[in-house]
Homo-oligomer: A and B are copies of this chain.
Amino acid sequence: MTTCRDYASHNPVDVRRMIREGKWDRPTSGMCSGYAQGNLVVLPKDLAYDFLVFAQRNPKPCPILDVTEPGDTEPKIVAPGANLATDLPRYRVWKNGTCIDEPTDVTKYWSDDLVGFLLGCSFSFEGALLQANIPVRHIELDCNVSMYITNRACIPAGRISGQLVVSMRPIPAELIPKAVLCTGRFPAVHGAPVHIGEPEALGIKDISKPDFGDSVPIHKGEIPVFWACGVTPQAAIMATKPEFAITHAPGHMFIADTRDIDYAVF
């Protein structure tokens, strides 16, 4: 079976075409190395303003990379010519806060009323961690990152509210300063961690039982480091139950034509 790694050096246009043609329905971590990947949130125009304000008030979990015109599926800023309704390997379709479908194409759901948002993804800063020789456990184990719904409320906006979701990476204590600095360069893709150690203070009772993703072991000498996570809008959708929404399925991201380095501030 081919793996993501086999597509590390492919370009985004080719990989999106392969996905659109139904030839890839698995996670995208590691594909098109160096290119930015994005979280997808699609909402009715009526809610799009509230979501933009929610993102402005909570930029660490919700860094917006692109916004489509109502009814249009093309992310003109980050990938002209691409189609957000077909170019992700798997979607989640939400009605009143419940996931009702996990298709590989959402063309039939995309009405004239919908607005698509692409949000920055931690895959962008994981490249920076690896380049700095900082180990990333879930990549080593070829599993999904651990994600937790915290006790920290996002700042609400209009009808949208919810708790902050964080992703966790165990980092050797002596490498944590470097991990903070090299992810802090990327404020548009979650940036520096929001919390280092002390999971209880975030309301995480059992670090071995994440709310999303896989459980990832923490070795002796390592501290759990928490970053704001792009799954936060999905938690907000579960909490605020909009009539209709579409998101990506966790790990099954949109691959943009922009590069990780385009989102570095220095």
Contact = CB atoms under 8 A, between A and B. Distances in A.
A77 B155 contact: yes
A202 interface: no
A141 interface: no
Contacts of A265: 184-185, 187, 191-192, 265
Contact of A52 (B53, B181, B187): B53
A55 to B, nearest CB: 8
Contact of A64 (B56, B77, B155, B185): B56
A253 interface: no
A185 B157 CA distance: 27
B77 A67 contact: no
Interface string A180-199: 01001101000110000000
Interface residues of A, number: 19
Contact of A56 (B52, B57, B181): B52
A49 interface: yes
Nearest to A77: B57
A125 to B, nearest CB: 13
Nearest to A68: B53
Interface string A42-58: 00000011001100110
The CB with the most chain B CB atoms within 10 A, among A67, A157, A266, is that of A266
A65 to B, nearest CB: 9
Contacts of A192: 265-266
Interface string A230-266: 0000000000000000000000000000000000011
Nearest to A157: B67
A69 to B, nearest CB: 8
Interface string A126-169: 00000000000000000000000000000101000000000000
Nearest to A186: B265
5 contacts: A49-B49, A57-B67, A67-B157, A181-B266, A191-B265
Interface of A: 48-49, 52-53, 56-57, 64, 67, 77, 155, 157, 181, 184-185, 187, 191-192, 265-266
**Which 10 residue pairs of A and B lie closest in terms of their CB atoms, listed nearest first?**
A52-B52, A49-B49, A184-B266, A187-B265, A53-B67, A56-B64, A184-B265, A187-B187, A56-B67, A265-B265
